Amino acid sequence: MIFKARINAWRAGLQRILEGSPRRKYSIITGLTLLLPLGLMLWTESLQRGSLTNAFGWMLKNATISMFNYGIYLSVFVLIYALVGRFVFAAGLSALLLALAALTSYFKSSLIGEPFFPWDLMLRKEGLNIFSYISSFSTAFKLLVILLCIACIFLLRIVVPKLSLPLLARLGLGLLSIYVLYAASVQSPWAGKLAKELGYKETVWNQNKNYTDNGLAAAFVMNVKHTIIERPEGYSKEELARIAESIVAIQQASAQSANDGQDNSAAGSEAAVKPNVIFIMNEAFWDPTLLPNVSFSEDPIPTVRGLQQQFTSGYLLSPQFGGGTSNVEFEVLTGLSMSLLPQGAVPYQQHVGDSLPTLASYFEDQGYYSMGIHPYDGWFWSRNRVYKSFGFERFKSKTGFDNPQFKGAYISDEEVTKSIIEEVSASDRPMFIYAVTMQNHGPYSKPRYQEHEVQVSGELTEDAAQILQTYTQGVRDADKALGDLIAHFEQSGEPTVIIFYGDHLPMLGEEYSVYLQGGLISSSSAWDWSLEEWQRMRSIPFVTWSNIPMEKQSYPALSYAFLGSVILDELHMDKPAQFALGSKLAKQLPAMTGPLYVDAQSQLYAKVPEHSKSLVDDYRKLQYDLMFGKRYLADYVDGAFIHKTPQEGYTLE
């Protein structure tokens, strides 16, 4: 009772002060409104950078850009204040929303090397998947402390009066805040000039540095403009007509070469045979024996190792690390490149509309039954919608598996192999299958297997060794599942081509701990890596197998976007528009992704080399035309393919 009486007394005293003079009241509100965003900035940057010391250090070292961030925090708070009408409630809500943004950015940077982007807001359920990685006791305790701090802010409303503003003032301040945030987001002339004068230096290709140097609020808001895809300079119907001419020339030369190859080979008599074409993108598949400081009791991937010696194989340069599987699918299936989209973009969520020409729709045109298989939830990355847009006839997701075997939290790779065999056996048409596995999805911090066929040893901490041990067993299971699939088609003799690869390197501990201890990289900061280290951390082995005659090729570095062209060439099939132009570009610049480009002589570059800029510009215009433009290309080449609509009988399991 005494405590309650004191609270009431304090509240009454504050109320008398505020009611004594309107000028005094609004002076107090103004002062608190100007002071609070400073606290919000310190609060947010502390969470984003991992400590209060780091936040203070950044603010003192970057005083002018801190002012720019302060203006954004002020606008955010004033907007929320204008909407809710109560100062304390607006302060608590602001602290909560900003804490969520800062923590998301902190964990995302620690785990996969990317901060929190505006387009991450479109991920919906996928964003919840991060919580499986941050469930440690120390992290849970930190989150609890943060929530308690926010709760304390809300509880201040017991003591502090409403501090409300007149409706007209709230409306004016709210509109002003929206204007300021909009101007900063789209970088209107005055906002862009002000940001530059205050020291904002955008580093689009290095977003970690962008956020570290410029602050979370400024970097996040200024990134909004990247969600708006700008028309490439020179994009026009006439330009696409010119590009179409070059595509037709490529297609004609390719067709002649394919005919010559068939006429001069034993395969000529089998030219009419349409083999099953099976792409298997194995979750986080990589070769752990590439860690120089680690030893293995036996080779964990003997099947893959054998295929590397006998069939077309090489290394794919992934646009992702540790996550973002759908972006790799996007490159393979569409023949388009993530390097021409903003860093952090997710086309499946942002840019895939009602239809987009892909390998799935192309093979369907060739008489194939096109099917996607993924033993996880169909909504993840919006595959249930996107696969329809891509021209698949059927998508079998987690619910399509009948009483499957699980290994850990996910359906096993062996079950995917069984599913592929069942689907091919049941089909009266040759099949194009795009299968994405799930068993070896992270995190790997907790043991998930009772036995480990391959033992790991080396210069690793106990935690790192356990993570790598768990991951390696998953790789071993993936290799065995591939071997079982090959054995089936060897025995059945049904003409089949298999393409097997991973989507990205696995996330092995925070701050690349296993890679650092294993000797693959020299720093826990990705932006300190050399170009050679970038290549190591983005290179994924791929192998092929077939029971029809195919020429063996080797690819030291290849973009996923160009993999479809390679396979179509191997099959002596015509290449549709984007795959044809991609094949030409691949001869000059076989691998391209945001931080790294590799040319035909295996030279490494941090940006597009001069000798390939013209062709990359053409490729960019084609990609824009298909994804965002008028599809002028269809007027000159592959019109039916480009304008093909989704299958009417599309089936989702």
User: How buried is 396 (Cβ within 10 angstroms: 0-12 exposed, 13-18 middle, 19+ buried)?
Assistant: buried
Which residues, at least 6 apart from 323, have a Cβ–Cβ distance to it below 8 Å? 111, 112, 504, 507
pLDDT > 60? residue 261? no
Range name among 150-154, 353-357, 613-617, 618-622 with the lowest pLDDT average: 150-154
What percentage of the chain carries pLDDT values higher than 90? 60
* Tokens linked to 592: 């391209």
Hey, where are the domains in the chain? 2-227, 237-652
pTM for the structure as a whole: 0.79
∠ CA 54-60-62, nearest 5°, is 95
- Token look-up 């194989």 returns 313
∠ CA 251-579-232, nearest 5°, is 110
Question: 207-220 pLDDT, tens per residue?
Answer: 778 888 999 999 99
* Tokens linked to 489: 């088609």
**Strand 604-605, strand 596-598: pairing:** antiparallel
- Token look-up 């480990």 returns 452
Tell me, what's the pLDDT at 121?
Answer: 78
Specify the higher pLDDT residue, 177 or 3: 177
**DSSP-assigned beta bridge partners for residue 554:** 313
Specify the higher pLDDT residue, 19 or 314: 314
First to last CA, the chain: 62
Q: What sign does the dihedral 170-173-178-181 (CA atoms) show?
A: negative
* Tokens linked to 476: 């071993």
Among residues 409, 375, 504, 502, the alpha carbon closest in space to that of 133 is found at 409
CB 479 within 8 A of CB 487: no
Alpha-carbon span 294 to 469, nearest angstrom: 11
Average pLDDT over residues 16-44: 77
Alpha-carbon span 241 to 70, nearest angstrom: 49
Helix axes 63-84 and 207-214, enclosed angle (nearest 10) = 80
pLDDT > 60? residue 558? yes
* Tokens linked to 380: 């993840």
Alpha-carbon span 153 to 147, nearest angstrom: 10
* Tokens linked to 578: 């984007």
What percentage of the chain carries pLDDT values higher than 70? 88
Q: Say whether domain 237-652 belongs to CATH 3.40.720.10.
A: yes
Question: 32-57 pLDDT, tens per residue?
Answer: 889 889 999 998 999 888 888 999 89
Which residues, at least 6 apart from 38, have a Cβ–Cβ distance to it below 8 Å? 70, 73
Tell me, what's the pLDDT at 323?
Answer: 84
